């Protein structure tokens, strides 16, 4: 088995970041309030004093040892890392912020940025972010302010069984949606294959899983000012008309098991030899498939909508690092984030945690550049969009999951379903 550089825990974390049901903190005019003690520029001195960091899930378990590298470079600083389960992280942050006893800095899921934006300091002007993609930087912005610095990122690419594809007459990956569907149909004719393509038809994150198709068709989930949801957007309709056709035509299973790991098991068994998945799937597939299974599948960038459209756009998620307004040691907090942002630091963190680096230069590291399963992720990250950084996104996303299931099962048409979703989203609002 390859080094377990993508663990199931990371997948759970990424999912939790996107969809945990929460009583949102929301935003108000105070989100625009200035921080009188904000660090305008990080000075050149060494970090000093005590520094508290909250980190979640797998990252929280691993960071305590990793920060010794920062302490070695800054001998007068002492870093304390508190590991927090994702399941309780939102409530703990909310309680600590209200009481004024939160950490100096923390790991923050990209879709939680809006929830706690009132509490974050803005990124200092001299913290160099030129090495991050526009998509990853945008995920850390709220109301036009850069509040988070990308730490690690997550996106979706196409996984397919090359051995089964070859038996179906395919020697290359599909390049368009039509080819994707045809390849799925052709693989379905191979003995042992039940469905050609897996997309989660229901449950948490089902709607999120369709966003690469909608984004690739030019969709936007809100207006430019992010004051109104736009679910009747033409691009969303194009994307969902395609994904729902997979169920209607029997290429994908509308009653598929959506429990964690089910798609991986079906991919390895050959029941469903194609799926959209994130980087954590690599180690899970290799472990379940055993020795030699690596040669039986490939990861590739998502197919374009058609031959005349541009590269496909996937969604980008992951986590940022943020500093809190209440921090008593902001200079050292930003110095830690500056250190964590360096390409060499992110490459080392990848080797320890298997989290994909947000730093584009870190991808030149041998551990990343020499891995053929990772190449697609590096390429796909050049074309990504983040879900809206709005405090009501989780509520709207939950409604979208429910209505998407109705569309997938043919209970409502795509147009009718999106009309209903638009109505619900209008009631929920954008939090602005």
Euclidean distance between the first and the last CA atom of the chain, given in angstroms as a whole number = 48
Over 80: is that where the pLDDT of 18 sits? Answer: no
> What pLDDT shows up at residue 366?
86
Structure confidence at residue 70 as a pLDDT band (50, 70, 90): very high
- Lowest average pLDDT, out of 88-92, 123-127, 404-408, goes to 88-92
The residues spanned by each domain of the chain are 47-153+317-377, 155-313+385-426
Share of the chain above pLDDT 90, in %: 72
Share of the chain above pLDDT 70, in %: 92
> What pLDDT shows up at residue 106?
98
Arithmetic mean of pLDDT over the chain: 89
Whole-prediction pTM = 0.80
Structure confidence at residue 53 as a pLDDT band (50, 70, 90): very high
Instruction: Report the CATH number of the 47-153+317-377 domain.
Output: 3.40.190.10
Could you give the CA distance from residue 217 to residue 309 in angstroms, rounded to a whole number? 8
Over 70: is that where the pLDDT of 12 sits? Answer: no
Is residue 42 within 8 Å of residue 127, measured between CB atoms?
A: yes
Cα 384–chain centre separation = 10
The domains spanning 47-153+317-377 and 155-313+385-426 adopt the same CATH topology = yes
Over 70: is that where the pLDDT of 32 sits? Answer: no
**pLDDT tens for each residue of 194-222:** 999 999 999 988 999 999 999 999 999 99
Segment 338-363 mean pLDDT: 92
Over 60: is that where the pLDDT of 29 sits? Answer: no
Token pair of 310 as six digits: 């541009």
Over 60: is that where the pLDDT of 5 sits? Answer: no
Segment 26-30 mean pLDDT: 39
Segment 388-402 mean pLDDT: 90
CATH class entry, domain 155-313+385-426: alpha beta
> What pLDDT shows up at residue 34?
67
Structure confidence at residue 421 as a pLDDT band (50, 70, 90): very high
Over 70: is that where the pLDDT of 27 sits? Answer: no
**pLDDT tens for each residue of 230-260:** 999 999 999 999 999 999 999 999 999 999 8
> What pLDDT shows up at residue 23?
34
Token pair of 85 as six digits: 């389960």
Could you give the CA distance from residue 290 to residue 198 in angstroms, rounded to a whole number? 22
């Amino acid at each position: 088995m390859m080094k377990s550089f993508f663990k199931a825990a990371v997948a759970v974390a990424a999912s939790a970041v996107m969809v945990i049901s929460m009583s949102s903190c929301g935003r108000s005019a105070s989100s625009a309030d200035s921080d009188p003690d904000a660090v305008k520029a990080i000075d050149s001195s060494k970090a000093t004093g005590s520094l508290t960091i909250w980190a979640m899930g797998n990252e929280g378990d691993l960071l305590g040892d990793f920060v010794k590298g920062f302490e070695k470079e800054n001998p007068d600083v002492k870093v304390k890392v508190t590991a927090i389960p994702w399941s309780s992280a939102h409530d703990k942050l909310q309680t600590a912020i209200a009481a004024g006893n939160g950490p100096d800095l923390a790991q923050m899921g990209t879709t939680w940025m809006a929830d706690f934006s009132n509490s974050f300091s803005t990124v200092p002007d001299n913290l160099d972010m030129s090495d991050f993609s526009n998509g990853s930087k945008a995920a850390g912005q709220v109301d036009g302010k850069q509040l988070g610095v990308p730490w690690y990122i997550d996106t979706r690419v196409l996984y397919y069984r090359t051995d089964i594809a070859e038996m179906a007459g395919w020697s290359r990956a599909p390049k368009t949606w039509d080819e994707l569907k045809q390849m799925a149909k052709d693989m379905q004719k191979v003995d042992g294959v039940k469905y050609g393509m897996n997309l989660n038809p229901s449950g948490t994150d089902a709607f999120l899983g369709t966003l690469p198709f909608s984004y690739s068709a030019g969709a936007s989930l809100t207006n430019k000012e992010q004051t109104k949801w736009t679910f009747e957007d033409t691009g969303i309709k194009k994307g969902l008309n395609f994904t729902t056709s997979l169920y209607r035509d029997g290429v994908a299973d509308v009653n598929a098991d959506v429990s964690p790991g089910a798609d991986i098991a079906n991919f390895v068994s050959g029941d469903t030899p194609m799926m959209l998945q994130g980087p954590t799937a690599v180690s899970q597939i290799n472990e379940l498939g055993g020795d030699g299974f690596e040669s039986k599948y490939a990861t590739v960038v998502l197919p374009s909508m058609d031959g005349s459209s541009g590269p496909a756009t996937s969604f980008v998620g992951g986590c940022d690092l943020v500093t809190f307004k209440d921090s008593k040691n902001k200079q050292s907090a930003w110095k830690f984030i500056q250190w964590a942002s360096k390409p060499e630091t992110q490459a080392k963190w990848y080797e320890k945690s298997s989290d994909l680096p947000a730093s584009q230069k870190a991808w030149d590291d041998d551990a990343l550049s020499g891995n053929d399963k990772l190449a697609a992720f590096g390429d796909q990250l050049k074309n990504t969009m983040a879900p809206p950084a709005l405090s009501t996104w989780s509520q709207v996303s939950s409604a979208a999951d429910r209505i998407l299931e109705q569309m997938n099962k043919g209970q409502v048409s795509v147009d009718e379903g999106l009309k209903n979703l638009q109505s619900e989203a209008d009631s929920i609002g954008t939090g602005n």
